[in-house]
Homo-oligomer: A and B are copies of this chain.
């Protein structure tokens, strides 16, 4: 079993509710003036081992400050709001966060030490405490195995599409296969540094905390950290994975075959979400996948892949389906990585455009390739074994329009 939102088995619970023992809810509280859903809750029947990656921005949301304090505890629930970043609202922001979480703990009958929270939206506004407190009872009451979609809808902002995945791994436990479910939000402020958006991953795996941390950190580094929409980094980026052990598989430890299997599944979930985010970049009409091979080192490959996927000039030319490969080469050369342009080979789709020197190509063919919904740019440096893949999108006039004023 393996599904992307809307494509999975309609009878089964979706997204974060797919693994055993998880429920979710989502609704409109009034934080967003538009009346759209803006608050979500994820709940596990039993305590979870948790791991998280969080923004490296020095201006961190109070929600993240809260969560990073509690992440080492057994976790039971995560409260998420959109429409307000809960960042830089002044010193009162921290107190408000604490009061909201205290209230949630009371309503749920769970210690606040076992609760996480996350926020996304406009920076610099105080979280509307009363608005949130008012809906907490309904949010808790609404928790359901069918609440995955409601929750996924509640955490998005300028996203055009809801982002959910769920699938079963090959690891079997006493309660069936270990499952993974997830939801994410992305769109703007997506950048090539650290967890660059919100993602909530649930699993019923029985796994040691250290192993979960290692698997998540690897997965994030190859997925969310390799997407770029505009090079801007949010104050609120957060990826969290909760494992409640209800699959009753034998405990997954680092280095075991099950660990390898679990890590690969987690990476797959993260890559699917990462690609959805890149393709849903603000104003984007199509997605690029940048594959760098033959680099001196993996670090060099990552730098080059992200530099190309993040170049405004490459992205704007891509928007116009203009085969200006010189911009790809220039971005490659400016990535602070070793490269020798007498050897390098650059391809757009299946067309080689440069191979130590410019290669003749049919411009019409190339324009057709560039106008597809997903285009692969491949750079072979012919220097070593370093390989990396990054995802990005085109830069359109709509990106600018959206970001000139929005809420």
Contact = CB atoms under 8 A, between A and B. Distances in A.
A91 B233 CA distance: 40
A58 interface: yes
Contact of A312 (B230, B313, B326, B332): B230
Given A90-B358, A124-B329, A358-B124, A322 B230 contact: no
B400 A316 contact: yes
A122 to B, nearest CB: 6
Task: Name which of A122, A231, A232, A337 has the most chain B CB atoms within 10 A of its CB.
Answer: A232
Given A57-B330, A232-B334, A333-B59, A124 B325 contact: yes
Nearest to A353: B124
A354 to B, nearest CB: 7
Contacts of A235: 329-330, 333
Nearest to A332: B59
A404 B313 CA distance: 8
A400 B322 CA distance: 13
* Chain A contact surface mostly: loop
A402 to B, nearest CB: 8
Given A311-B232, A326-B123, A89 B358 contact: yes
A256 interface: no
B88 A231 contact: no
Contacts of A319: 400, 404
A401 B325 CA distance: 18
A375 to B, nearest CB: 15
B88 A354 contact: yes
Interface stretch (A15-23, A43-51, A212-220, A391-399): A391-399
A356 interface: yes
A253 interface: no
Contacts of A311: 231-232
A357 interface: yes
B230 A330 contact: no
Contacts of A336: 56
A390 to B, nearest CB: 16
A356 B90 CA distance: 7
Contacts of A210: none
Interface in A34-61: 56-60
Contacts of A329: 59, 88, 123-124, 235
Task: Name which of A87, A126, A342 has the most chain B CB atoms within 10 A of its CB.
Answer: A87
Contact of A90 (B123, B125, B189, B357): B357
Contacts of A356: 90-91
A397 B189 CA distance: 18
A331 B232 CA distance: 7
B230 A313 contact: yes
A123 to B, nearest CB: 3
Task: Name which of A58, A123, A327 has the most chain B CB atoms within 10 A of its CB.
Answer: A58
A29 interface: no
A397 B91 CA distance: 37
A59 B341 contact: yes
A234 interface: yes
Contacts of A357: 89-92
A126 B233 CA distance: 39
A83 B90 CA distance: 52
Contacts of A402: 316
Interface string A292-316: 0000000000000000001111001
11 contacts: A58-B332, A58-B339, A59-B329, A90-B358, A91-B357, A122-B324, A123-B327, A189-B313, A232-B327, A312-B403, A396-B400
Given A59-B330, A60-B333, A322-B405, 12 more contacts: A57-B334, A58-B334, A89-B358, A90-B357, A90-B358, A91-B357, A123-B327, A124-B325, A124-B326, A189-B313, A231-B310, A319-B400
